Amino acid sequence: MKPKKITKKQIPKIWARTKEIGLEEENLRKLVKKVSGDPSISKLTKDQAIAVIDRLEGKKVRKRIKGKKRFALSVVCIDGKKVATPKQLEYIETLGDIAGWKRKHIKSFILKKFGKDDMNSLTRQEAGVMMKVLKHERKRRLCDVLN
């Protein structure tokens, strides 16, 4: 049975998700190539397109390993590094609001600490560091209010 081609609705969805998370086209093509072996979005199968969309949305993708009942989890990787999930980025923004940090402050901290222009380009590890810093700031702010 021949695999089904990508649907007309999936192509714009891939581009919309790419734009939402601020991923560059070059990195999208790397992701597509990793999933399908070819950087062309139009050559994806329906299942491959679902996998790409899930990865762009930060969902863990399960794929069956040949001959085994187990499943391997794969996540969005760009240049060999796991990209921060949308939930992590949302949590960073929430913690920033609670800690009294404006978006500009968060952005300048990310630039100084990690050398990155945008929060969307953080790796999962870097996002974890940001969350730790903001939790500490939140705690410090609460202590200042109580004293």
Enumerate the H helices of 2-146 as residue ranges: 10-21, 25-36, 46-56, 86-99, 103-114, 124-146
Band (pLDDT 50/70/90 cuts) for residue 79 is: low
Residue 12, pLDDT > 50, answer yes
Share of the chain above pLDDT 90, in %: 25
Tell me the pLDDT tens digit for each residue of 89-111. 888 988 888 888 888 999 999 99
Q: Please give the pLDDT value at position 76.
A: 62
* Predicted model pTM: 0.51
Q: Please give the pLDDT value at position 134.
A: 93
Q: Please give the pLDDT value at position 88.
A: 87
74, two tokens: 């794969």
Q: Please give the pLDDT value at position 111.
A: 93
Q: How far apart are CA 95 and CA 9, in angstroms?
A: 35
Q: Please give the pLDDT value at position 127.
A: 92
Tell me the pLDDT tens digit for each residue of 99-144. 888 889 999 999 999 998 888 888 889 999 999 999 999 888 877 7
Q: Please give the pLDDT value at position 10.
A: 94
